Structure 1
Amino acid sequence: MKTPLILRSLLTAAVIAALPVSLANAQDRFANVEVKATAIKGAVHMLTGAGGNIGVSAGDDGVLIIDDQFAPLAEKIAEQLGELGSDKPKFVINTHYHGDHTGSNAFFHSHKGATILAHENVRIRLASDEKVAPEALPTITYEDGIKIYFNGETLHVIHLAVGHTDGDSAVLFEQPNVLHTGDLFFNGRFPYIDQGAGGNVEGYMESVQQLLNRIDDDTVIIPGHGALSNKAEYANFLGMISETFNYVKALKEEGKSLDDVKAMGLEEKWASWSWNFINEEKWITTLYNDA
């Protein structure tokens, strides 16, 4: 039976009316978020807000940023960058493709003239998402990494083959000795490993170890999520992953099902690592899938 014209009109009107509400809700989620800057060393700063931590190089050459959080925060981020020297970053480096690290790409490219750099797989994954505007795509990509000389410092942009995704990069500021890990470090939390986008637990551990091998006890670490950190805490993070992975792997090899392992849980000492996005059950699932 055909839907009466008047009913179709009412349904269409209801859908259209709901769209601004959905957009408004998305904006409201970030309405009270405050973007704050923290000076670290040399030209390097960190911005916090919602989503991945933003690394900043600000000096005589201008401003460069590492990641740019969610799209609704773009203007707040730009305002803070203006306080550091310029609201028009010359470069944006994406550590991977997730929206809490790339959401403001289009804004900074289209409205501020930034050049976006990332691993080739980041461009591929963003381009395959019909919700991502062409303006948000990296215009310079690399395979193994790239060096950038900016504000009197050398930035080593390092691609890690397998980890959080298949397109992860970390950025090491050589002279001030600061490392931005992207989501290869969730400080004090179980990490999210995107197994549907080329990430896996063993690759993640190998990538973290590669980064640990490149830093020393004086290195300041900007994690993808969480507070500023150091090599000792990063090594502790790797130890947590290794221990919990081996624990779950042994149970799986004994024939325990995923539900069995979830019911058993992890050792109590790991309870504080659970958080709203990756709680203990989700972390066990991640470990079990790769064990």
Structure 2
Amino acid sequence: MKTTEDHMDRRQFLTSAGLLAATMIVAPRSLFAQNDSPVTKIIGEARKSAITATKLRGDLTLLEGSGGNIVLLSGKKGNLMVDAGIDVSKEKIKTKIASINNVPLLYLINTHWHFDHASGNQWIGREGAKIIAHQNTAKWLSRRTRVDDWNYTFPAAPKDAIPTSLFADGHQLDFEGHVIHLKHYTPAHTDSDIFVHFQAVDVLHVADTWWNGYYPFIDYNTGGNIHGMIKAAEQNIQMTSPSTLIVPGHGPVGKKADLIRYRDMLVSIERAVSKLKKSGMSLKEVVAARPTKKFDDKWGKFVIGPDFFTALVYKGIS
């Protein structure tokens, strides 16, 4: 099993996840063909990708290779997962968990509703685990939902996949000696985002409010916005200390200094795009002006390319 230090290598993450070449997006959604959604590409890569395990702290393990980052808490009587990954990875995830701690899966926490974090809910629910989430996660999973910027419409999830333990603001779970704090953000990546804090070992899963080393996706169809992403980044920084181990939705595990760099990037790009848009520039003109240029080498080489991210920020500025 890898260690946390091994996991800090960004290029290693890209290789293990198997997503770099297949999901590079460098243009606004309007330029996609109908059958060229990144959703179908990411699901295809998940079919092929191995599930890798990285030891975090105490009895926590990071699982990668099926969409978003998954955290497994290994207890004496049962396991708990934060996020379920993509359903096509079911057997690989089950095999990996059994190799780490072969006890029943008792709890699943969804950080938000998106397919790369929650489409594995059904098999987990069918195995008897209690699924905990913000109430908006259940809302979006329960209905047919269009995400324009992915050029994809999601069908309503099966009954077994819908979280049954819901909260509006915050929730606390005591499990196997851990006090686990769950808290809802104001709308950021979506309107269903939560963080999960394992207090005893100071490990914080902030999900898709942070993409470590990459431009993030923002889902405007289900409540997300650039200003909320900046606010969530600020909140994450305030919650953490230099010793906190922070799990992003995508990318390597990081520390507070990494979050600060991410926040600063978001703020700088939002200001640049806002200035151009408010001067009267169209989206096409703002994209051509390359307001993200100084950040592209570090942040623009994964799922969301510079032009696409510029379009997402532009959309959120009134």
Normalising to structure 1: TM-score of the pair? 0.87
Could you tell me whether the CA contact under 8 Å between 1:70 and 1:103 is conserved in 2? yes
Instruction: State the partner residue of 1:39.
Output: 55
Instruction: State the partner residue of 1:181.
Output: 206
The superposition leaves residues 72-128 of structure 1 with CA deviations (integer Å, 9 ceiling, x where unpaired) of: 101111111112213631000000001100111000111x21111100000010001
Q: Are 1:290 and 2:316 an aligned pair?
A: yes
Instruction: State the partner residue of 2:14.
Output: none
Structure 1 segments, 4+ long, off by >2 Å, are 25-32, 266-269
Of the three residues 179, 188, 192, the one matched with 1:154 is 179
The superposition leaves residues 156-191 of structure 1 with CA deviations (integer Å, 9 ceiling, x where unpaired) of: 111112110001011011111101111011011100
Could you tell me whether the CA contact under 8 Å between 1:44 and 1:58 is conserved in 2? yes
Could you tell me whether the CA contact under 8 Å between 2:209 and 2:249 is conserved in 1? yes
Three-state SS of the structure 1 residue aligned to 2:217 is coil
The superposition leaves residues 223-266 of structure 1 with CA deviations (integer Å, 9 ceiling, x where unpaired) of: 10001111100111011000000011011111111111111112
Instruction: State the partner residue of 1:100.
Output: 116
Tell me whether 245-254 or 29-38 shows the greater mean CA deviation: 29-38
CA root-mean-square deviation: 1.7
Q: How many residues align?
A: 266
Unaligned runs of 5+ in 2: 1-40, 145-154
Q: What CA distance in whole angstroms lies between the structure 1 residues aligned with 2:85 and 2:95?
A: 14
Three-state SS of the structure 2 residue aligned to 1:217 is coil
Instruction: State the partner residue of 2:128.
Output: 113
Instruction: State the partner residue of 2:294.
Output: 269
The amino acid of 1:40's aligned partner reads: L
Q: What CA distance in whole angstroms lies between the structure 2 residues aligned with 1:205 and 1:252?
A: 18
Tell me whether 212-221 or 276-285 shows the greater mean CA deviation: 276-285
The amino acid of 1:210's aligned partner reads: Q
Q: What CA distance in whole angstroms lies between the structure 1 residues aligned with 2:45 and 2:230?
A: 33
Three-state SS of the structure 2 residue aligned to 1:181 is strand
The amino acid of 1:287's aligned partner reads: V
Of the three residues 49, 58, 66, the one matched with 2:82 is 66
Q: What CA distance in whole angstroms lies between the structure 1 residues aligned with 2:43 and 2:270?
A: 38
Q: What percentage of aligned pairs have identical amino acids? A: 30
Higher-Rg member (1/2)? 1
Three-state SS of the structure 2 residue aligned to 1:216 is coil
Structure scoring higher RCO (CA < 8 A, sep ≥ 6) equals 2
The superposition leaves residues 3-27 of structure 1 with CA deviations (integer Å, 9 ceiling, x where unpaired) of: xxxxxxxxxxxxxxxxxxxxxx998
Residue 204 of structure 1: how far off its partner (Å)? 1.4
Residue 267 of structure 1: how far off its partner (Å)? 4.6
Q: What CA distance in whole angstroms lies between the structure 2 residues aligned with 1:26 and 1:211?
A: 27
Could you tell me whether the CA contact under 8 Å between 1:61 and 1:150 is conserved in 2? no
Instruction: State the partner residue of 1:14.
Output: none
Could you tell me whether the CA contact under 8 Å between 1:70 and 1:102 is conserved in 2? yes
Instruction: State the partner residue of 2:224.
Output: 199
Of the three residues 94, 97, 102, the one matched with 1:81 is 97
Residue 131 of structure 1: how far off its partner (Å)? 4.2
